[in-house]
Amino acid sequence: MSKIKPSKGAPYARILGVGGYRPTRVVPNEVILETIDSSDEWIRSRSGIETRHWANDEETVAAMSIEASGKAIADAGISAEQIGGVIVSTVSHFKQTPAVATEIADKLGTDKAAAFDISAGCAGFGYGLTLAKGMIVEGSAEYVLVIGVERLSDLTDLEDRATAFLFGDGAGAVVVGPSQEPGMGPTIWGSEGDKSDTIKQTVPWTDYRDGEVAKFPAITQEGQAVFRWAVFEMAKIAQQALDAAGISSDDLDVFIPHQANERIIDSMVKTLKLPEHVTVARDVRTTGNTSAASIPLAMERLLATGEAKSGDTALVIGFGAGLVYAATVVTLP
């Protein structure tokens, strides 16, 4: 018989607060058209994107995260000292070590919170939520800060007609804490590494370092392959998340998919046969694809505008490079 005492965590976990930060510079499609042969109409019809935000030199991954996190902590009604874990999902923090989460945890004023980064692309926020829930139920932290943050403008090839218009910068954060009733459903997550070439960095950092290529690495993707995968396969994952939570689409109030492309969003809504009463996040129009930051940024905007309200039941799903995915049902803070 084990001598280890059982953990004394909370029975359940839920999102208690949300915050977002969008860089001050707004970039319309006209700016993108300076370097690619396209049109505003083509960009909007293919992606739904009208504008995106690009960070300046002061709006670093850490700085944007701190701004978003401060809002989330205030929204949750707790203090930074109560945060026991900081999880940051990003692919655009260019220091291999230390994790940017440690800097964020310190500058926020946490009391030596556990802090680490994860790299799960556009599904990273969902991965972070799942880890946070486990920490709280297991008892290793009472409150966990989950941050999705990107400066994808640093990884955008402005001469690549297929991707130059897609990416934006920003940070979204949530506080996950204890609950006496279920506030987060089971996560349906996974990876399909055999499709990893469909979204990837153009070359390894070492190729650039060693002078084998002159162009700084960027993100590239096979648009049609990604579109087909997201539309057909991710709708199945979203349905599995609903089933795992024990609800149907009729029970949903809000749908917050990764803000990759409005055509993908529309197709998923159709495939899932979501009722008209379900509010659908379309933050992609003015924020672009911010990878790990897209779901919390969209969540924050829906709540701020009143399109969604506290207590609503929301289906969230992220999917992207890897290829990886994560879907779950949550109660909005």
Active site residue 258: yes
- Among 327, 213, 191, 202, smallest CA distance to 272 is for 327
Scanning the structure block, which residue is given the tokens 């991707």?
163
The one catalytic residue in 29, 53, 261, 289 is: 289
Query: Is 56 considered catalytic here?
Result: no
**Among 74, 95, 213, which residue's Cα sits nearest to residue 151?**
95
Q: List the catalytic residue out of 29, 53, 122, 261.
A: 122
289 is catalytic: yes
Catalytic residue among 29, 53, 258, 261: 258
Residues known to be catalytic = 122, 258, 289
